Amino acid sequence: MHLIQAAREIIKHHVVPAQAWPPQQLSLALQGGGSFGAFTWGVLDRLVEEHELHLDTISGASAGAVNAVLLASGLAEGGRDAAKQKLEHFWRRMSEAAAFISLANAAHIPGMAPGGLGMLTRALAPYQFNPFDLNPLRKSLAAEVDFERLRKDAPLHLMIAATRVSDGKLRIFRNNDISLEAVLASACLPQVHRAVEIEGELYWDGGYVANPPLVRLVHESETSNILVVQITPVKIDHRPTTSGEIARRVDQITFNSSLNSDLDTLELAAEVGAGQKIKNLRIDRIAADELVENLAEKSAADLDWPFLVRLRDSGRLAADKWLRKGAHD
């Protein structure tokens, strides 16, 4: 069943609506998708302005994991305003670093404009293309997040997904074992960066196996109100014909497949009456491609600041609409 149809069927036939809106307790499932994660930044930026709304559990993969950790770190260190500041500071850092790297690469690789770097990364493994494993994400996260404090004082439950290279299975890092390396592992695209080693195991991007973890989030969350923030485009309106278009569409399908599977699993559980939690479950979804025009044609590697601001503003608008209309949707 199509993703949107599956979500609607769960809500229509198997969900008991919350009595009050917006809900006082909410858990979030934050999808990964590179720079499209700035849309999630906007969603979170708006949600934390609702002082009566408290977050219980957040699951995330890749950019979703990054946003989740930034939010939790800000809440732990200085409350809602600090969380908003950390999210903005981080995305500014990433945009500035991307601009510097693009200029440096264009200057040092003869004939290679920044837009052509994707061809180079497809031709070479990161061990050749990026032999020193330079990663601006590491520096930006280290500057914004005190991981030791986060492990001790996180005001919510975190579930960060990564893919174990050895067997392709999901590893979820929770509060006590969340570290800089764990978040880097969750966001490690193997075409760009070396696998991240943690406790003798190698990890790649969590989006390959759980983007984001949803069934486990439902199981571990204390609330029956779940909001999925989906940033990988669901639909396209044209036939992919070029190699670039085909590769982009394959990536979009791949990174949405686990979410589709989790929604199907929850729908089946609701149909067979698998427990009171499932009966009371309400799953809502905010999708970036429903608000950002032509998102499916954009690059998830685009960290140009005006593009990130456009995504953030769209995310804020989407969250505001959800807060105002969700009770009747």
What one-character-per-residue DSSP string does 231-290 give? -S----SS---SHHHHHHHHHHHHHHHHHHHHHHHHHHHHHTT--HHHHT-EEEEEEGGG
pTM: 0.84
* pLDDT value of residue 128: 40
* pLDDT value of residue 177: 95
Q: From CA 48, how far away is CA 243, in angstroms rounded?
A: 41
- Number of other residues whose CB lies within 10 A of the CB of residue 136: 16
- CA angle at residue 323 from 52 to 161, to 5 degrees? 85
Mean pLDDT of the chain: 84
Q: Residue 329 to residues 12, 20, 144, 286, 322: CA-CA distances in angstroms?
A: 10, 14, 36, 12, 9
* pLDDT value of residue 326: 59
Q: From CA 244, how far away is CA 238, in angstroms rounded?
A: 14
* pLDDT value of residue 117: 40
Which candidate, 201, 164, 167, 166, places its Cα nearest to that of 186? 164
Kindly tell me the burial class for residue 211, based on how many C-beta atoms sit within 10 Å of its own C-beta (0-12, 13-18, 19 or more). buried
**Within the chain, which residues score under 70 in pLDDT?**
1-19, 100-134, 273-276, 326-329
Which candidate, 85, 72, 93, 96, places its Cα nearest to that of 45? 85
* pLDDT value of residue 328: 52
